[in-house]
Amino acid sequence: MLLDDLMPVYDINEVHWTAVQAPPESIFHAIKEVTPAEILLLRTLVAIRSLPSLLMGKGGLPGLPFASTKPFLEQALAAGFVLLAEAPSREMVLGIVGQFWKPSGGLLPRIGSAQEFTAFDNPGYAKAALNFYIDSRVGHSSSILRTETRVHIPDAASRRRFRVYWSLIYPGSALIRKMWIRAIKRRAERSRVLYESVESQSTGFPAISRRSEVDRPIVLIHGIKGSHLAQTYDDSFDVIYSGVQKAFESIWDIELDEAGEVEKDIRDVISVMRIEVLAYGELLGRLRKKFPGNPVYIFRYDWRLDNKHNALKLREFLQYLRKKTHGSSFRFVAHSMGGLILAAFLRLDPPRHLPLVDRAVLAAPPLHGAPKAMSALIIGEASLFSLNSSEAFRKIARTFPSVYQLVPGYRGAWDHHDADADIWNLHYWQRRVVLDGRPEETYKERDELMHRHLERAREFHSKDLIDFDALEEGERKKYIVLYGRGERTLVKIAVKPENSTKEIANFFDFDAEGNYSMEGDGTVPVVSALRFSRLTHHKIDLENQAKWWLPTTWDDAAKMWLAGFHGGFLALDKVQGIVVDWLGGKDVQPSWSSKIVP
């Protein structure tokens, strides 16, 4: 790309892309001709950016306000941007230099050429380059339009100022660029439709509709609690659960019925919305940058439901994508419980489904469950779902089939006082002997519910997952398991005959010595991730936890906020590098000492 020549070194970048059903010539023309009136929210967002300058009596940013019907690119060039390079119908690069963190933008006199831009390295300033790149390799009359912004700040003091500024304006900046390329897409596709209509009328034959042919699209399958749940019964679309927002007053809206299939309250209709950006956003951007001609799709699913149900939904989703892209196979990134869904999908119909996998990464997969799920069911482990009320979550979690399917099935998952105890048999689980004032019928209903879900979980682990170890070597080589160790992890549960007050039988002593180990990522024990020993495995070893949790940058603070090592697994640079290499066809050697140095 021309952008690589003009700014090979940068401190911050931002990438957005969209598929456009139009030839490169139409897209390039649309880039030049699209107007502010076509770019949704542009005037509002730019006006917000101008407020500090206006309040200080400096008249707003240079070049504002924009004229609605004049090409936006032309007005941007007049306001201070410089056209650095252009390859017709392929790429265009703009540049600008300034002190962007200042209310007025702190723009320098115009840079006169690409040579002046690349040579500029004055302390106290930042230089930014923005490109539009058209990748026409995806098929006839179909292209990928990609825009990337790179910023380089030569000195540390200015870099700190810019990062603070960037953290504040990034959401608006990203939204402007998304709306900009969508406006370009709409204009380019309108011009294509007009051209095909004229072509049809002039020849007497209908214009031929050609669809993209995309080779090996990438599909991300997020983990448990990896997507937002919202109330869609009315038109409010209130988010009931997300990583940064929990509507505690209505958290009961996500409770399921006895079958674990629909919401318990007839007035609740909960739908899956966007994924957790802090957990997956950086990886998605990196994949789209590395593989610009290959769309990266997100399989959003309701993580409360049975994993086999979601495997069937994944099959429907892939059928849709095959019709859309004409692709014959896919590359997968499956995080946490997403690994169980992928394994269940393959088990549905191995002869048909195994060939659909070109390569796959199973990242921190609880292939044999995790004792933390039992903690959530028994004491309402708040950290698993970030809810304030463990009492509330204990009751709600017991209605989620997916949580039972995370109950660990490996040998040694519990140290039960009865050596013959079956972990899938509720009889051996903790229960009250002395009632605590609630009706006995309440406990019977709870026990019936848990019994059904545990029996179904037993079936899921014994029958509904593909046996990767039984696959032929050529098939096994498509998969890699990335797992973490080095964080304190609940690896087993000590079960005593009773508690100290003799009110509880089969007492789950979560504080017993030996329950915890560093052989895990804080949620998934190593032994669970390594259920299928004949797959390729690569260990990510977390060292120096004190440094890991020290929020020295905005990225570190975001990772600290996530659910530990496990929840932020795919946000780690080391992990992302391995994912990109594996999906790109590089072999990753099995490793037992790969380490992250914070």
The model's pLDDT over 344-403, given as tens digits with 9 standing for 90+, comes to 999 999 988 998 999 999 999 999 999 999 998 988 654 454 444 456 777 888 999 999
**Higher-pLDDT residue of 189, 91:** 91
* Residue found under tokens 């230099």: 97
DSSP bridge pairs for 218 = 296, 331
Using CA atoms, how far apart are residues 439 and 434, in angstroms rounded to an integer? 11
Count of C-beta atoms within a 10 Å radius of residue 501: 9
How is residue 293 written in tokens?
Answer: 């001609």
CATH of 218-370+445-596, one of 3.40.50.720, 3.90.180.10, 3.40.50.1820, 3.30.200.210: 3.40.50.1820
Inform me whether the pLDDT recorded for 556 exceeds 70: no
Rounded CA Rg of the chain: 27
The CA-atom distances, in angstroms, between 205 and each of 141, 192, 292 are 18, 16, 34
The total number of residues written for the chain in this structure = 598
The CA-atom distances, in angstroms, between 306 and each of 310, 397, 413, 463 are 7, 13, 22, 14
Q: What is the DSSP-derived secondary structure letter of residue 506?
A: E
Domain extents in the chain: 2-203, 218-370+445-596
Question: pLDDT-derived band of residue 552, with 50, 70 and 90 as boundaries?
Answer: very low
**Same fold for the domain at 2-203 and the one at 218-370+445-596?**
no
Write the pLDDT tens digit of every residue in 7-57: 988 898 888 888 888 888 889 999 999 998 888 877 776 666 554 444 444
Question: pLDDT-derived band of residue 560, with 50, 70 and 90 as boundaries?
Answer: very low
pTM over cut 0.75: no
As to burial, measured by CB atoms within 10 angstroms (0-12 exposed, 13-18 middle, 19+ buried), residue 543 is exposed
Inform me whether the pLDDT recorded for 478 exceeds 50: yes
Using CA atoms, how far apart are residues 184 and 132, in angstroms rounded to an integer? 11
Backbone angles phi, psi at 60, to 5 degrees: 85, 180
Inform me whether the pLDDT recorded for 212 exceeds 60: no
Share of the chain above pLDDT 90, in %: 46
Using CA atoms, how far apart are residues 138 and 205, in angstroms rounded to an integer? 26
pLDDT at 278: 79
pLDDT at 58: 44
Comparing C-alpha atoms, which of 240, 225, 229, 230 is closest to residue 335? 225
Inform me whether the pLDDT recorded for 213 exceeds 70: no
Inform me whether the pLDDT recorded for 68 exceeds 50: yes
Using a CB cutoff of 8 Å and minimum separation of 24, what contacts does 349-353 make? 350/466, 353/315
Lowest mean pLDDT among 24-28, 199-203, 413-417: 199-203
Inform me whether the pLDDT recorded for 494 exceeds 60: yes
Using CA atoms, how far apart are residues 384 and 377, in angstroms rounded to an integer? 11
Write the pLDDT tens digit of every residue in 273-309: 888 877 898 899 999 999 988 899 999 999 999 999 9
Task: State the Cα angle at 293 between 290 and 299, rounded to 5°.
Answer: 80
CATH of 2-203, one of 3.30.2040.10, 2.60.120.920, 3.30.70.270, 3.30.530.20: 3.30.530.20
Using CA atoms, how far apart are residues 41 and 15, in angstroms rounded to an integer? 19
Contact 389, 379 (CB under 8 A): no
The dihedral through the CA atoms of 462, 466, 468, 470 has a sign that is positive
> Which residues, in sequence order, are CB contacts of 371 under 8 Å at separation 6+?
408, 413, 414, 490, 491, 492, 493, 515, 525
Question: Which is it for strands 493-498 and 414-416: parallel, antiparallel or unpaired?
Answer: parallel
Using CA atoms, how far apart are residues 88 and 30, in angstroms rounded to an integer? 12
DSSP bridge pairs for 547 = none
DSSP bridge pairs for 128 = 96, 151
Question: pLDDT-derived band of residue 219, with 50, 70 and 90 as boundaries?
Answer: very high
pLDDT at 273: 82
Count of C-beta atoms within a 10 Å radius of residue 568: 23
SS3 assignment, position 528 = helix
> Which range in 433-437, 448-452, 594-598 is most confidently predicted, on average pLDDT?
448-452
Q: What is the DSSP-derived secondary structure letter of residue 131?
A: E
Asked if the peptide bond before residue 65 counts as cis, ω within 30 degrees of 0, the response is yes
How is residue 446 written in tokens?
Answer: 């709870």
Using CA atoms, how far apart are residues 534 and 23, in angstroms rounded to an integer? 46
Question: Which is it for strands 330-335 and 357-363: parallel, antiparallel or unpaired?
Answer: parallel
pLDDT at 113: 85
Write the pLDDT tens digit of every residue in 228-276: 888 887 766 677 777 544 544 567 888 999 899 998 998 888 888 888 8
As to burial, measured by CB atoms within 10 angstroms (0-12 exposed, 13-18 middle, 19+ buried), residue 23 is buried
Q: What is the DSSP-derived secondary structure letter of residue 591?
A: B
pLDDT at 247: 45
pLDDT at 175: 87
What's the rounded mean pLDDT across residues 190-218? 51
What's the rounded mean pLDDT across residues 438-464? 86
pLDDT at 565: 81
pLDDT at 204: 41
**Higher-pLDDT residue of 66, 473:** 473
